[in-house]
C-alpha cells in the first residue's frame, strides 16, 4: 500500500525517482519523500512532503537536491503515524549514515524501539520504519550486507525495504519479506520498485525478488542472497506490458479507461479459455481426479473481489451442484474455519498482495486445503503461495476502484462453474455448449452497453445531488447491488448501501423518501416480478428509482424514473453486464462531484496491511 523506487546507475537519479513515484501513486499518496547520496558520497540529502507527489516535486524545484546517481524514494499510505512530513519516508538513523524506505508493517517495532531508546537512539517520527534505520546503525560493523542481514533478522511482519548508505555510496540494497518488490535491469543502471509500471519506461527486464531475499545492486552488478547469507539464483523476466499500457490512453481517468477495456478483457478470456468446445483452465493445477473429488468450494476475498465470489457462489452451485461458501478473507482468517476434506479454496484477488486474503490462504493451507488463486498480477505473493493460479490477464488495473478485474473475476468463476459442471456431468453437453455460446456473446454485449454511455452519464448527472443511495438486487444480482454500492461510495464518498431486495421490508424501507435514490437491478429473471413489487413499494414512498432492466422491457418505465438497459443474456451471466452501467453511474457521479476518481481519499489500490 506504499510505493518504493530506488535507482543506482550513471544517470541523474532525482528525475528517475520522481517519475517512478508518480507511476506508483495509486499505491498510496498521503505523503512522499526522496533521498540521494551526493556524487562524492559524503552526504545523504532528503526532501519530504505531505500530500500528493506533486507537492514533493514543487518542494524540490524550490530546494534542489545535489546531483546524484544513487537514491531511493517512497509514496506513503499511512499505517503507523499520521500522514505528515515527519512520518513520510525515507527515514535516517541518528548519524545520517543510513537511509531507508519501507512498505509493510514491522509488527514488533515497539519492543525494538524501546530497546534502541535504552541504547541512546533518538526517534523523530511515530513510524515503525524508523526502527529499521537505527537497527542498521546499531549492527553496522563495516559490512553493509551483514548489517542488513542482522537487522532484518530482528523484524517481524511484512516489509519491502530500499536502503542506501554513506558506508557504501555505490550500492543500493533491497529486502523483501511479504510485501512486493521487483528489480529492474538497465544498461549500466539497476532499479528496485514496488510494482512493474514504476519502471517500465526504463526497462522491461524484471526480477521478482522472492520472500526472505536481500538484493545488493550497483550500476553494473546484481547479487541476491537469502537470509542465511547464501547466494540465491534468480530468473530475469521480460515484461510484455508496455509503458503506454499503463498510460491513460486518452481517457480522463484510469478508471474510465479500464471500464472501456472490459469487452477486450472478456474477449481475450474467451479466446484463451474456451478452446473448441471445452473450457481450458490452464494453471488450475488440479488433476481430473482431484476435480472430481471436490465436495465443497470455499471462496475467500476482500471488497470487490468478495462480491465476485458471491456471484461465483450462485453460478457454481447452479451449474455444478457443488456447494459454495464465500467468506470475507478478513473474517475467514480469524474464525478458525472448519474446512472439510475435499474442499477447494479459491482466493480471488486483483493485486495478489491483499494481506487479509494472503492470511486466509495461509490459514487454509495450515488446515490442509488446496488453494487456487484467481489473480491479475503475475508473480504476486498470492500466486506464489497457492497450489494453482487462474490468471485474469486483465492488464494493469491502476484505478483504485476495481472494474475490469471484477468482471474478469466473475468471468473466471463462470468458466470454473462450467468446468465443474462438465466433470460432474450436471449439465448435458448441449446445455454446456449453449452456455459457452452465451459467454462468447458477452464482449459484444458489453460494447453495446458502452454505446449508451451518454445516457448513463445523463442519468448520473440528474441524480448526483442525492445524499444517500440504496442498491437493491436479488439472486445472482444481489452481489451486483453490493458491488454497485461499493463503486459509488468509494469514489464519490456518498453513503451507499447494497441490499438483498427481499430484505428491504425488514428495515431499509424506513430509509425511503423523496430524498433517496434507489438503484434496482430488475433484469429479466425468475425474480423479476418480485423486483417490480419492490419498486412499487419504493414509488409509494416517493423514492427515486434508477432501474437496470433488460433491453426491450416495456413495463419497467412505469415503475422507474430512470432506466439503464443491458442486452438479454442467460440470467446467470447478467452480473457480467450489470456491472458496467453501475460502474459508469458511479464514475460520472464522482466526476460531477469533483472527486479524485483514480485515487479516492483514504484508499489504496492494494491493501497489503491489515
Residues annotated catalytic, as ranges = 2, 605
Contact between 305 and ligand AGP per CB under 6 A = yes
Q: What is the DSSP letter of 231?
A: B
Closer to ligand AGP at the Cβ: 168 or 195? 195
Region of 42-50, 70-78, 300-308, 509-517 interacting with ligand AGP (CB under 6 A): 300-308
- Quote the crossing angle between the two packed helices 404-424 and 574-592, to the nearest 10°: 170
Residues near 489 by beta carbon (within 8 Å), at least 6 away in sequence? 495, 496
Nearest CA to 183 out of 192, 172, 194, 173 is that of 192
Phi, psi dihedrals of residue 8, rounded to the nearest 5°: -140, 125
Q: Are 575 and 477 in contact (CB under 8 A)?
A: yes
Q: Least distance in Å: CB of 389 to ligand AGP?
A: 14
- Show the binding pattern over residues 353-372: x = contacts ligand AGP (CB under 6 A), - = does not: -x--x---------------
Does 490 engage in binding with ligand AGP (CB under 6 A)?
yes
Work out whether 607 is an interface residue with ligand AGP (CB under 6 A). yes
Our CB check for ligand AGP shows the closer of 133 and 485 to be 485
Per-residue binding string, ligand AGP, 450-489, x by CB under 6 A, is ----------------------------------------
Residue 99: HSE in the Cβ half-sphere, 13 Å Cα cutoff: 29
Which is nearer to ligand AGP, 190 or 386 (by Cβ)?
A: 386
Shortest gap between Cβ of 402 and ligand AGP (angstroms)?
A: 4
Local structure of 448: helix, strand or coil: helix
343 binds ligand AGP (CB under 6 A): no
Matching residue, cell 521478482: 208
SS3 389: strand
Among 401, 545, 573, 582, binds ligand AGP (CB under 6 A): 401
Does the footprint of ligand AGP cover residue 165 (CB under 6 A)?
no
DSSP state letter for 199:
T
- Considering only the stretches 127-135, 301-309, 456-464, 578-586, report the one whose residues sit in contact with ligand AGP under the rule CB under 6 A: 301-309
CA-based max dimension of the chain: 80
- Find out whether 183 and 205 touch, Cβ atoms under 8 Å: no
**Closest distance between ligand AGP and the C-beta of residue 435, in Å?**
26
Asked if residues 78 and 87 have their Cβ atoms less than 8 Å apart, the reply is yes
Find, among 123, 136, 33, 13, the residue nearest to 75 by Cα: 33
Cβ 88 to ligand AGP shortest distance, Å? 23
Q: Which is nearer to ligand AGP, 44 or 486 (CB)?
A: 486
Closest to 477 measured CA to CA, from 531, 423, 554 = 531
Q: How far lies 339's CA from each of 7, 207, 344, 366, 371, in Å?
A: 46, 36, 9, 10, 12
Query: Based on CB atoms, which residue is closest to ligand AGP, 78 or 155?
Result: 78
- Is residue 332 classed as helix, strand or coil in its secondary structure? helix
Residues 6+ apart with CB under 8 A from 530: 474, 501, 502
Q: Which is nearer to ligand AGP, 68 or 392 (CB)?
A: 392
Does the protein bind ligand AGP through residue 606 (CB under 6 A)?
yes
**Interface pick for ligand AGP out of 349, 463, 477, 574 (rule CB under 6 A):** 349
Burial per residue of 401-428, b for 16 or more beta-carbon CB atoms within 10 angstroms, e otherwise: bbbbbbbbbbbbbbbbbbbbbbeeebbe
Closest CB to ligand AGP among residues 130, 598:
598
Please tell me whether residue 53 binds ligand AGP under the rule CB under 6 A: no
| Closest CB 30 distance from ligand AGP, rounded Å | 16
Binding test (CB under 6 A) with ligand AGP, winner from 350, 523, 525, 574: 350
As a whole number of angstroms, the distance between CA 600 and CA 596 comes to 5
262 forms part of the interface with ligand AGP (CB under 6 A): no
We find the least distance from the C-beta atom of residue 448 to ligand AGP, in angstroms, to be 24
Min dist. Cβ of residue 492 to ligand AGP (A): 13
Judged on CB neighbours under 10 Å (0-12, 13-18, 19+), 268 is: middle
CB of 601 to ligand AGP, least distance (A): 13
For ligand AGP, the binding residue among 53, 174, 398, 400 (CB under 6 A) is: 400
Pairing of strands 157-165, 70-76: unpaired
When asked if residue 304 is in the footprint of ligand AGP (CB under 6 A), the reply is yes
Q: Distance of alpha carbon 547 from its chain centroid, rounded?
A: 29
H-assigned helices in 6-52: 13-24
Closest residue to ligand AGP, judged by C-beta, is 303
How far apart (Å, rounded) are the C-alpha atoms in residues 193 and 74?
Answer: 10
Task: Please tell me the total number of residues recorded for the chain in this structure.
Answer: 610
- What's the min distance (Å) between Cβ of 151 and ligand AGP? 29
Task: Give the count of residues interacting with ligand AGP (CB under 6 A).
Answer: 15
Say if residues 82 and 28 touch (Cβ distance below 8 Å). no
Of positions 402, 432, 463, 492, contacts ligand AGP by CB under 6 A = 402
| Closest separation in Å from C-beta 101 to ligand AGP | 22
Are residues 48 and 230 in contact, defined by beta-carbon separation less than 8 angstroms?
no
Sole window of 151-159, 394-402, 466-474, 503-511 interacting with ligand AGP (rule: CB under 6 A):
394-402
Residues that bind ligand AGP (CB under 6 A): 302-305, 349-351, 354, 357, 400-402, 490, 606-607
Amino acid at each position: 500500500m506504499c510505493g518504493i523506487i530506488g535507482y543506482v546507475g550513471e544517470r541523474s537519479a532525482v528525475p528517475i525517482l520522481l517519475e517512478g513515484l508518480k507511476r506508483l501513486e495509486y499505491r498510496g499518496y498521503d505523503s512522499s519523500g526522496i533521498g540521494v547520496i551526493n556524487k562524492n558520497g559524503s552526504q545523504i540529502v532528503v526532501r519530504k512532503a505531505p500530500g500528493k507527489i506533486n507537492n514533493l516535486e514543487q518542494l524540490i524545484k524550490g530546494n534542489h537536491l545535489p546531483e546524484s546517481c544513487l537514491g531511493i524514494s517512497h509514496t506513503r499510505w499511512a499505517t503507523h503515524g499520521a500522514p505528515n512530513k515527519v512520518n513520510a519516508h525515507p527515514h535516517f538513523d541518528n548519524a545520517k549514515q543510513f537511509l531507508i524506505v519501507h512498505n509493510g508493517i514491522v509488527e514488533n517495532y515497539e519492543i525494538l524501539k524501546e530497546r534502541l531508546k535504552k541504547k541512546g537512539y533518538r526517534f523523530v517520527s511515530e513510524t515503525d520504519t524508523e526502527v529499521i534505520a537505527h537497527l542498521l546503525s546499531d549492527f553496522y560493523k563495516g559490512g553493509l550486507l551483514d548489517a542488513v542481514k542482522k537487522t532484518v533478522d530482528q523484524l517481524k511482519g511484512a516489509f519491502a525495504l530500499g536502503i542506501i548508505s554513506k558506508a557504501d555510496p555505490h550500492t543500493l540494497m533491497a529486502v523483501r519479506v511479504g510485501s512486493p518488490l521487483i528489480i529492474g535491469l538497465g544498461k549500466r543502471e539497476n532499479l528496485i520498485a514496488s510494482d512493474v509500471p514504476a519502471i517500465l519506461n526504463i526497462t522491461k527486464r524484471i526480477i521478482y525478488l522472492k520472500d526472505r531475499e536481500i538484493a545488493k545492486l550497483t550500476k553494473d552488478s546484481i547479487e541476491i542472497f537469502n537470509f542465511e547469507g547464501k547466494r540465491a539464483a534468480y530468473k530475469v523476466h521480460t515484461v510484455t506490458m508496455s509503458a503506454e499500457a499503463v498510460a491513460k490512453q486518452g481517457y480522463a481517468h484510469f478508471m474510465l479507461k479500464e471500464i472501456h477495456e472490459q469487452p477486450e478483457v472478456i474477449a481475450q478470456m474467451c479466446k484463451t479459455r474456451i478452446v473448441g468446445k471445452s473450457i481450458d483452465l490452464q494453471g488450475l493445477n488440479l488433476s481430473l481426479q482431484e476435480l472430481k473429488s471436490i465436495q465443497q468450494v470455499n471462496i475467500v476475498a476482500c471488497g470487490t473481489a468478495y462480491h465476485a465470489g458471491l456471484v461465483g457462489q450462485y453460478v457454481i452451485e447452479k451449474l455444478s451442484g457443488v456447494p459454495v461458501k464465500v467468506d470475507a478473507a478478513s473474517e475467514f482468517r480469524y474464525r478458525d474455519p472448519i474446512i472439510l476434506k475435499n474442499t477447494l479454496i479459491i482466493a480471488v484477488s486483483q493485486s495478489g498482495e491483499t494481506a487479509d486474503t494472503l492470511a486466509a490462504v495461509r490459514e487454509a493451507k495450515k488446515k490442509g486445503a488446496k488453494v487456487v488463486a484467481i489473480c491479475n498480477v503475475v508473480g504476486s505473493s498470492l500466486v506464489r503461495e497457492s497450489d494453482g493460479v487462474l490468471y485474469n490477464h486483465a492488464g494493469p488495473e491502476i484505478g483504485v476502484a476495481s472494474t475490469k478485474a471484477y468482471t474478469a473475476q466473475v468471468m473466471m468463476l463462470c468458466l470454473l462453474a462450467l468446468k465443474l459442471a462438465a466433470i460432474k456431468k450436471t449439465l448435458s453437453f448441449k446445455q454446456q455448449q449453449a452456455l459457452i455460446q452465451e459467454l462468447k456473446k458477452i464482449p459484444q454485449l458489453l460494447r453495446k452497453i458502452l454505446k449508451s454511455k451518454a445516457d448513463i452519464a445523463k442519468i448520473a448527472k440528474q441524480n448526483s445531488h442525492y445524499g444517500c443511495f440504496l442498491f437493491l438486487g436479488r439472486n445472482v444480482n444481489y452481489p451486483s447491488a453490493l458491488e454497485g454500492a461499493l463503486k459509488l461510495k468509494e469514489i464519490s464518498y456518498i453513503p451507499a448501501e447494497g441490499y438483498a431486495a427481499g430484505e428491504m421490508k425488514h428495515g431499509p424501507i424506513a430509509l425511503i423518501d423523496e430524498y433517496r435514490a434507489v438503484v434496482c437491478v430488475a433484469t429479466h429473471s425468475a425474480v423479476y416480478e418480485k423486483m417490480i413489487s419492490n419498486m412499487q413499494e419504493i414509488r409509494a414512498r416517493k423514492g427515486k428509482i434508477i432501474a437496470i432492466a433488460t433491453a426491450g422491457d416495456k413495463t419497467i418505465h412505469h415503475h422507474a424514473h430512470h432506466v439503464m438497459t443491458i442486452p438479454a443474456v442467460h440470467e446467470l451471466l447478467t452480473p457480467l453486464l450489470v456491472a458496467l452501467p453501475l460502474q459508469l453511474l458511479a464514475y460520472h457521479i464522482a466526476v460531477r462531484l469533483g472527486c479524485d476518481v483514480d485515487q479516492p481519499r483514504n484508499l489504496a489500490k492494494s491493501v497489503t496491511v491489515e
